[in-house]
Amino acid sequence: MNEALPERDADRFLRMARAEQQGKLTVYLGAAPGVGKTYRMLQEAARRKAEGEDVVIGVAETHGRGETQALLAPFEILPRRSVEHQGHRLEEFDLDAALARRPSLILVDELAHTNAPGSRHPKRWQDVAELLAEGIDVASTVNIQHIESLNDLVAGFTHIRVRETIPDSFLEDAELIVVDLPPEALIERLRAGKVYLPDTAGRALANFFTPNKLAALRELALRFAAHNVDRRLSSQLELSGERADFVSGERLMVAVSPGRGGARVVRQAKRMADLLHVPWTAVVVESASARGVAGSQREQLADNLALASSLGASLMTVAAQDVGQALVEQARALRASQIVIGKSRRSRWFEWRHGSVAQDVIRHARSIPVHVVPLDEADEKPVRAYDPYSQRDNAIAFLAVAAVVGVLYLLKPWIAPGAIDLLLLFPVVITSMFLRMRAGLWAALWAALGYNFFFIEPLYTLSIHSPADLVTFIVLATVAGVIGALAGKVRRQAETSAGVARLNASLARFAGLMGALSDRDETARVACREIGNLLDVQAMIVSLEDGAVVVRGNEDFAQLEMVDETAARWALEHGQTAGRDTGTLASADWQFHPLKTALGTMGALGVARSSNERVIRPDDATLLASLVDQTALAHERLVLEAEARQVDGLRERDRLRGALLGSIAHDLRTPLTAVIAATEAIPAEGAYADEVRIARSETRRLQRFLNDLLEASRIEDGSIEPKWESVDLTDIIHAVLRDLRQDRPGSRVKASIDEDCPLVQSDPLLLRHVLINLIDNALKFSPPDSRVDVELLLHANALICRVADRGPGLPADQHGMFDRFHRLEGSDRVGGSGLGLWIAKNFVEAVRGSIAASNREGGGAVFEIALPLTGVARLDQGADA
């Protein structure tokens, strides 16, 4: 049986699998408009197309530049979706058409673009995210001023605030390609009219396109791209499991120590990080000696960590015995380019006895630069806490050695002299294993002195006359000291490992408990109970509901004091830690930590301690951060599960509704057929001739509606597939006009058909149903003396069919007009069941087409159907794959 993969390896393989399923995003990044991003993107796309890739253009903004326009020639260009907004016709990227076409690579220019109202997504980058989720590669362009995190910085020196921004997280996995152009060259292009029109160019040169501003934007673009490359390299190394000892990007690591001098080191590291514009991490090494410092310096260590966190550092705690080596190893793990550490001015004698962490770091760092910040001795000298067990351990060590010496002295006549010194090592090893290392070293000293006093001539003195006895004494003392030190070191390492194991076990148990809960109140109660036990604190979870702060998880504190409630509200609204021991509302009794996730702030964890000491001890800072993250993820999971249940309910409701509609259509077909036969048998003559003609027309319309409803329900359920064949849309249009009796002289429908229209691969029956619905609606909702225009024309790589009337038009808010049972409220186009456009949309999408609606200039509505010319070939290729 194969051994289970380690958890880290399993997570790595899961991330690799998810990355394989996603499409790849390539973004051409520029410092300003006009540097040639679209041109470069089209050039690279042409190369990939020449290599055999299926490349399609979704959006390519040439801005009238002839050289860029010429690059569009070899590509298939998806037709854009027309959107009417405030009396203007807007051309937007057609996401549905792109998903139906499903190319290997699609070009979607201007990633930060804001879509027209009524679009599926408000931002174009969200359209791109949906394409990537479907496994489609995307290439796009963006300028550096559209990056969310740089928005304020750019506005600060350009005095122009860009409203269209992209979240940094969206570009984390993107391949950034910087399209660079020196400021002087870009200004020359602007003056030559290659970027803006002359009037616009003059204003741009005076405001935005100045050499200094362009140089600053260029630097930002290069730094952002370099940071992106470095982050992607780190991610790839983590996914591959490869250990890299090289450093390719700048990042700082600062060693945080107790004492006021530690704050000085943190501030120095912050200044360096700001100067280099790099991320930085504050690291604390928890060793046995570090855990022994006095309480005041433990408090100062907590303040230093809080300072580092407030200045933007990531916090990390490492358990180790060799502090210097642990810091260097952690720097290599973080791929830090520089280490910042403090060093007090000490005498050589002090450093010889106690060592120097800074010197150890320099010795082990090798290729990593180390910045040493000088500190005052009073700030750096560690103050040891009084240990009541130290004297006890020393006494036990003395008694253990005395007992062994006494036994050996009594058994001296029966023991070989050469074995006595070896037997005296026994109490040294025992005391080092079960007591502190200091006790083991004292035991080594007592053993050596006892051996000299009781077993070396002259007896009962500390004098040694024989050189052989002197050598034996020295060897015994040395070996006993080394064994004592090694045994004590092993014991401390075992204690450290046991502490790390307990911490990991606690986190694993907490995560397991959180993952098994499905109720918000129960999740809060269990989280507060476990966090309280692990950190020895009181805990609660607060959230904002209808503007009020609601407490969960702790029945003893159902109501908060005014100061505590204000701190909780601050943490919830600002997403920052607030309350006791923080820089915000420190007079509160509780300390609140926001539960931040990708969905927003899920609430805040409040912790409090009854004593006057800090709410969170320095040893527990890292543990608390992990518990906060786990609690936030648990609440996020509850929200996602609730949404999933809601989606399942809606899906089941739609399924039942579709089944009901299908059943109704089936049940009405037989009686409706009899009614149609009866009306056709009645002569349309005499006094009731008009009524008979109306009855015939309405029964035929009802029959078409029921047939459409039945077919649409079957397609939505996946129980029917379009019958693909070569279709002449001209024949279908003429057949529809015959069905509607609009092929006679004086008919209201006028057909305009392009002579160059080719055949398309589609289902003629479904297209016929769609056109009957659209033309019949146009006749119904337009004045009796007005004309309905049906146009068929070839556009790019699609066949376009338009149905336009002169009726009242569509309402301003057209969102959801193709949804089932959606009726056009606010317009004169009301009445009916609200199924006609939904049926048309189902049929058009079934044949890999798209449908859109807009208002017509001069009044009326236009419905446009776009059918791809290569639909069936693409479908077959997908099936073979």
Let me know whether 155 and 281 are in one domain.
Answer: no
Q: How far apart are CA 600 and CA 579, in angstroms?
A: 21
Q: What percent of the chain has pLDDT over 70?
A: 75
Q: How confident is the model at residue 754 (pLDDT cuts 50, 70, 90)?
A: confident
Which CATH number does the domain housing residue 188 bear?
Answer: 3.40.50.300
Q: Are 214 and 229 in contact (CB under 8 A)?
A: no
Q: How far apart are CA 94 and CA 99, in angstroms?
A: 9
Query: Tens digit of pLDDT for each residue in 105-140?
Result: 999 999 988 888 778 888 899 999 999 988 899 999
- Cα 497 to chain centroid distance, Å, stands at 33
Of 490-499, 549-558, 629-638, 860-869, give the lowest mean pLDDT range.
490-499
Query: Tens digit of pLDDT for each residue in 317-351?
Result: 777 777 888 888 888 878 788 999 988 776 666 66
pLDDT higher than 70, residue 750:
yes
Let me know whether 89 and 224 are in one domain.
Answer: yes
Distance from the first to the final alpha carbon of the chain: 34
Highest mean pLDDT among 81-95, 371-385, 814-828: 81-95
Q: Are 355 and 322 in contact (CB under 8 A)?
A: no
Residue 35 belongs to domain spanning: 7-240
287 in any annotated domain: yes
Q: How far apart are CA 124 and CA 542, in angstroms?
A: 36
CA distances 637 to 511, 599, 632, 644, Å, are 12, 10, 9, 10
Residue, of 2 and 394, whose pLDDT is higher: 394
Residue at which a domain ends, from 351, 380, 409: 380
Let me know whether 282 and 220 are in one domain.
Answer: no
- Would you say the pTM of this structure is higher than 0.85? no
**Of 737, 776, 777, which is closest to residue 753 (Cα–Cα)?**
737
Let me know whether 795 and 755 are in one domain.
Answer: yes
Let me know whether 97 and 192 are in one domain.
Answer: yes
pLDDT higher than 80, residue 819:
no
pLDDT higher than 50, residue 5:
no
572 in any annotated domain: no
Let me know whether 752 and 816 are in one domain.
Answer: yes
Q: How confident is the model at residue 194 (pLDDT cuts 50, 70, 90)?
A: low
Query: Tens digit of pLDDT for each residue in 526-572?
Result: 889 888 888 888 899 999 888 888 898 888 887 888 888 888 988 88
Which CATH number does the domain housing residue 339 bear?
Answer: 3.40.50.620
Number of folded domains in the chain? 4
Let me know whether 274 and 305 are in one domain.
Answer: yes
Let me know whether 314 and 396 are in one domain.
Answer: no
Residue 293 has what pLDDT? 52
Let me know whether 56 and 200 are in one domain.
Answer: yes
Q: Using CA atoms in the order 150, 152, 156, 162, what is the torsion angle rounded to 10 degrees?
A: 90
Residue at which a domain ends, from 463, 494, 525: 494
E strand residue ranges, 9-121: 25-30, 55-59, 76-77, 81-85, 88-92, 105-108
Let me know whether 227 and 172 are in one domain.
Answer: yes
Residue 386 has what pLDDT? 44
Let me know whether 872 and 808 are in one domain.
Answer: yes
Query: Tens digit of pLDDT for each residue in 597-645?
Result: 877 788 999 999 877 777 777 667 777 888 888 888 888 888 877 777 7
pLDDT higher than 90, residue 204:
no
pLDDT higher than 90, residue 480:
no
769 in any annotated domain: yes
How high is the mean pLDDT of the chain? 77
600 in any annotated domain: no
